[in-house]
Amino acid sequence: MRLFIAIELPEQVRNALAGLRCDIHGARWVPKDQLHLTLAFLGEVDDDGVARLTGRLSRIHAPPFTLRFGESGCFPGRRRPRVLWVGLEHESRLLHLAAKVHAAVTDSGMALEDRPFSPHITLARIKVPRPEEVGIFLDRHLQKKLPSLAVREFILFQSQLTPEGAIHTPIRSFPLAA
């Protein structure tokens, strides 16, 4: 099964992020119920791997914390925008949690992408980019005040790809405790 580990966003935050949507040519907006903060993407994992992974993830100890939204942008850059995202202010507890999750994944015998963790929430993917539209969006719409995000758990999700888009199903949650 295709898996990822993420922080689920509360309804208030998802509503605020969905409220940023506007008409950008070629943009495919992430459905509101699919918005999340990915800690690690795993890809295909067999049942034995899931068992090893959940055992290791359940041993992670980290305190709850609060995140605030920060700068926003696009990947790979404003000249050829393909992904619109909203970022989060630097929070060392998020980085520590992500490092512990990454260690649990590799200790389970799975490989991760070889790039640094960059905390963000993907808002849209753009097929035919028009940089000027994206620039206007980033300059105007993402200046809005977004609610903070209380992080109390992280979740192992299954992602099923369908012609209509991905369906994300929680497999197991892992609460944070001091």
**Coil, helix or strand for 22?**
coil
Catalytic residue among 25, 96, 120, 168: 120
Sheet holding 69-75, edge to edge: 27-29, 120-126, 83-88, 69-75
Q: Which two tokens stand for residue 135?
A: 């620039």
Place of tokens 């200790």: 107
Catalytic residue among 25, 36, 61, 102: 36
120 is catalytic: yes
Distance CA(90)–CA(49), nearest Å, equals 32
25 is catalytic: no
Read off the DSSP letter of residue 115: S
The neighbour count for residue 74, using CB atoms within 10 Å, is: 22
List, by residue number, the catalytic residues: 36, 120
